Amino acid sequence: MPEVLLTEDREAIRVLTLNRPEKLNALNTALTRALHDALLEADRDRGVRAVVLAGSGRGFCAGADLSEFSHLTTENPEAVLERAELTSRTQSLLRELSTPVVGAVQGPAVGGGAGLAIGCDMTVVATDVKFGYPEMRHSIVPAVVMTGLQRQLGPKLAFELISLGRMLTAPEMLELGLANRAAEPGEVLDVALEIAGKWAAANPLAMSATKNLFHRVADLPYAEAMRAGRDVNVIMRGFREAR
């Protein structure tokens, strides 16, 4: 049976590839847990300075695997809560890691897959990307992914996407700031690796502090954010000596 998640190291870059191509890399429990654990492992590995998150086959990720939902019912509340907690932790990890993550996103990136795509620190999308939150069509609330989307878009547009299931194209994602680069489907991974390579060449302590501070100040009032920046400004002077 093939592995649901492929791991490859390209020097200081770790490439994690969702590997359920026959299901458009839909997130079942096994894949979600594998991704969660692999992200933590990459963050602990001092030899890894950047992560690329990709999907095998013609799609990045089709979101939750609905075939599992028949087992996740109110008759089995412990399983429901465990899966919800795992999904939430995995979606949050991309932002919480000290190691920067770039997404290489092609084809469908919907639901939880859309959440992973925009949860990366930077995102490269293919010209054939189909990005959106169609959960309401299946009478499912896009609960876990709602937070990340609302923080990146204005409330009106975010609500339109989750309530109407509107799909976005690559040009729209670029225009809205949900993606950093667009490339042909066969070139998406190369562009993501190029970005990751520049991260990997930077001082790892400075990169880690940059990412942590960037996300920290986003949630702070202005004065507190400035104080946090001042504190990092003081300690960063020692980063030039450590590489």
Residues 6+ apart with CB under 8 A from 48: 9, 12, 13, 14, 42, 99
Contact 87, 37 (CB under 8 A): no
Q: Which of 135, 172, 175, 184 is catalytic?
A: 135
- What is the rounded (10 degree) CA torsion for 214, 218, 223, 224? -70
Active-site residue flag, 135: yes
Contact between 56 and 109 under an 8 Å Cβ cutoff? The reply is: no
Q: Would you give the DSSP letter of residue 84? A: H
Tell the residue number behind the tokens 């590997």, with chain if given.
19
Q: Which residues are catalytic?
A: 135
